[in-house]
Structure 1
């Protein structure tokens, strides 16, 4: 098996993880995921300020400390830190290698950036427009002898699929092997989320203070074992792997540019301490279109958070609302939104627990209108409004916000170019065989559990959950750890029951997908995040806590499961 580690799950992850992975044990490849939908917007704004930027500068700093070590250990590094400027990052890395006197061969992959062709491809006028490329550009770079491969926007799993395909000589039609590597890549792409981070049952782990980063040991047939370096914190278990498998997915067909992986075929098994085997994954030809991440600047946003303490919370909220609306009546913002969080409790032992939070958020295309004129108007009411008036921050200026949407373009219309260390450019052909995505029929459900006495307790007493964002939608995966609990869950947690437990979803489109092989359900909740994380449409804009909210809700659970 080859050992492929991960040292970054997002732009801002643990800086020392690269060194920890290189020094903590044996590796063949080290990957790093630095990009997300929001990150592309951040990099796009960086590029507006300086055309030489647009990449994840953190990775360059990490390589200053670790490039020589990686070359010495013969660990190939594959990252998507190139963002909107992979050629620029590759150039900076070559300069760094010269400065450090390290014989490092740097290659990069480009072609995903479609900004200059946005109008031609009917994509509007976005700030960023990046197609999700696959693994074969990475494969070409590695076969050409690169020590470091930098990409722009490729699928997260491609960072793992590329090294595996290059090592084993897979062809583009080795669908099952590719699908297995996609699943392994999906598990380790988010770093410590596979080793106990954000894990629903975290209180069961011995040590989560500093979890290690994950490793995928991938075999020639695409099967894998997920593990971590010996002696590191956290844990790799059926639970931590299941949780990550359910992260940011939709239905059983997980589509990518190289292969569609069937998540309903995944089989998990314990393989020793901190080792989970993934096998039996089946793959299908990819769809003919590539997904494109589009970000635009939506305008400007500002907010004031009022603290309401003690008695008459609702009346205090109504008073300040009327006063703020009156103050803005001559030049009102395009959007104004109020959110009252009743965090207060009756007869509270502390002032903080006696207080509720009322947020007033405004949006407009004119930054001046909702800058100090807005927040200042709110503060001017300090001595003329509800008793106990206070806010959580002083007046502030407006800040820009982004709008995300996804589009799809024919893969044949998107260039995919591998640029070797010597500058040689190789065009990567799109998939020769494709297959349109279709829905998978819901599988036959197991017999319902014969329910005896029940107890009303939080759902999380027996069920784990993990949630996240995909544009304006959220996914919420829920799993249990026994066949008995599964027989209860799959018949109990319907779409209607989810809507009852989470009233915020009551009027939204919700789709349920059944993964009996994982004892899991996945719910896709459309429109709950508005125009995406950068629009800040919701208290939890990336839906990271949505699953934990669900787990905290009380439901009648059979006593035999408790």
Structure 2
């Protein structure tokens, strides 16, 4: 039997904790250390960087971390795999080699390319296919110490090292699916160890440690963390991350389609959760392509309305600006009632009226607010003031997803010596369709209920996928599951979150996780960079749901 592979994570996004790489390298045993730096918004940011400097386009913080930690990784024989290459993996690989030469540390640096399809998508700032892990595996099998990629799936940072270590072939779907699940749990760093967790008071999450997976040859794993680090790992923290930014039970990727409805979680000791039973199917015949472009320009101003007649004051401002706003492509008002009656501070006596304007032309959004709004300073409602004066307007981005046949993408492993190894797509594919509705447990017998927040019995985690959002909801007992699955229907979900009214909402049932996953289409407009709503990545949508009141059986409370 091949020994288990210990894979840790040291970054969940571009801007994550700089000390994490050192913490992971010094905190315990590791074979591979991964770093995830890319997201939809990050690709747009890197694209704008590259416009200013063609040699840019990668996550520069990775180099800062590596300068301090390359010697540690080399001495401990820990391989590093990261997607910090962003739009320019070859450029980052060269920069790592120069850094290693300057430090006098002999390392072999390889990179993966082929994801960049921008030239095929005129008008796009970036267009990149999501590659799988077998390019990473090819680099590691050829002796790379550091592998830099561009746009691979987040889970590919784990499936690649696992395939190299265990010798997996592309068709070993159950094993690959287990690695995808492990990769999905690790990809967001401390979200698996108590960060952003609904029941955060169950442990000390002031400085959570980063997670690691002990991955086995059959695809099963144990999710844990280094001894003595903060945070905690339990079935709930792993469940929450499994639901993050997912949709149906079929979780499709370039290497395999993992069946989330087969995942089995077991507490395996303190800060240890065993993940097994995962089944896999062939991947779809196409690869997802993430495209970003500049959508236009936006500007905003927040008016402060204090004391009495809040709604009348808001109506006055809207009437006064109606003519000016008629000249912009899009204008949105939102009244946020943060005010209280008979408040003992001015701030708590005040509501916020937010205006956001968008237009293809920067001059239009600048004039609409910088001129018209400021001119109201002495001519509007009593107590007129704004949180900050509006500026000239700034560009906003749009994220769009497309798909391309797998055979049209040239996936390449580029080795330290310059050799270029083509990575062939797997032979089998599967056109995805829906998973049949699983059998539901019997509803609980009638009994006394109490009006209370859903969050007293259920956890939730939410996130974004382009313009859509998902809200995963789970409970911790079979009794609570019997109640939840029959109570939290799509209609009840819409009732609790009125902002989802009129939008397509789909419910996916995951009985093994005691979880429901709701996908809300279009709630985020053109995606995070467009800032369609005040919570543009839907990070708190789940917490809003948990705060809503409904009738809950008293024996669950």
| TM interval, short-chain normalised | over 0.9
252, 255, 272: which one pairs with 1:275? Answer: 272
1:514/1:522 contact within 8 Å kept:
yes
User: What residue is the counterpart of 1:154 in the other structure?
Assistant: 152
1:382 Cα deviation after fit: 1.1
User: What residue is the counterpart of 2:69 in the other structure?
Assistant: 66
1:155 Cα deviation after fit: 0.4
User: What residue is the counterpart of 1:424 in the other structure?
Assistant: 419
**1:18-67 CA distances to partner (integer Å, 9 max, x unpaired)?**
11100111100000100001100111111111100000111011111111
516, 523, 526: which one pairs with 2:518? Answer: 523
Relative to the length of structure 1, the TM-score reads 0.98
Q: CA RMSD in A?
A: 0.9
1:473/1:525 contact within 8 Å kept:
yes
Gaps of 5+ in 1: 119-123
Q: Distance in 2 between matches of 1:203 and 1:236?
A: 13
Where do 1:170-185 residues align within 5 Å? 170-185=168-183
User: What residue is the counterpart of 1:199 in the other structure?
Assistant: 197
User: What residue is the counterpart of 2:107 in the other structure?
Assistant: 104
**1:325-382 CA distances to partner (integer Å, 9 max, x unpaired)?**
23455xx111111111111111112111111110111011111221255223212211
1:372/1:395 contact within 8 Å kept:
no
**1:205-241 CA distances to partner (integer Å, 9 max, x unpaired)?**
1x11100000010001010000001111100000000
> Is 1:93 the equivalent of 2:96?
yes
User: What residue is the counterpart of 2:371 in the other structure?
Assistant: 376
**1:477-515 CA distances to partner (integer Å, 9 max, x unpaired)?**
000000000000000000000000000011100000000
2:283/2:430 contact within 8 Å kept:
yes
2:505/2:520 contact within 8 Å kept:
yes
1:384 Cα deviation after fit: 1.1
> Is 1:507 the equivalent of 2:495?
no
SS for the counterpart of 1:477 is strand
SS for the counterpart of 1:326 is helix
Q: Distance in 2 between matches of 1:373 and 1:242?
A: 46
1:68 Cα deviation after fit: 1.3
288, 293, 297: which one pairs with 2:294? Answer: 297
Where do 1:51-450 residues align within 5 Å? 51-118=54-121, 124-205=122-203, 207-328=204-325, 332-371=327-366, 374-450=369-445
**1:384-415 CA distances to partner (integer Å, 9 max, x unpaired)?**
11111111112312110011110010000011
Gaps of 5+ in 2: none
SS for the counterpart of 2:352 is strand
2:240/2:461 contact within 8 Å kept:
yes
1:304/1:375 contact within 8 Å kept:
no
1:303/1:375 contact within 8 Å kept:
no
Q: Distance in 2 between matches of 1:340 and 1:104?
A: 57
Q: Which moved more, 1:408-417 or 1:392-401?
A: 392-401
2:328/2:368 contact within 8 Å kept:
no
Relative to the length of structure 2, the TM-score reads 0.98
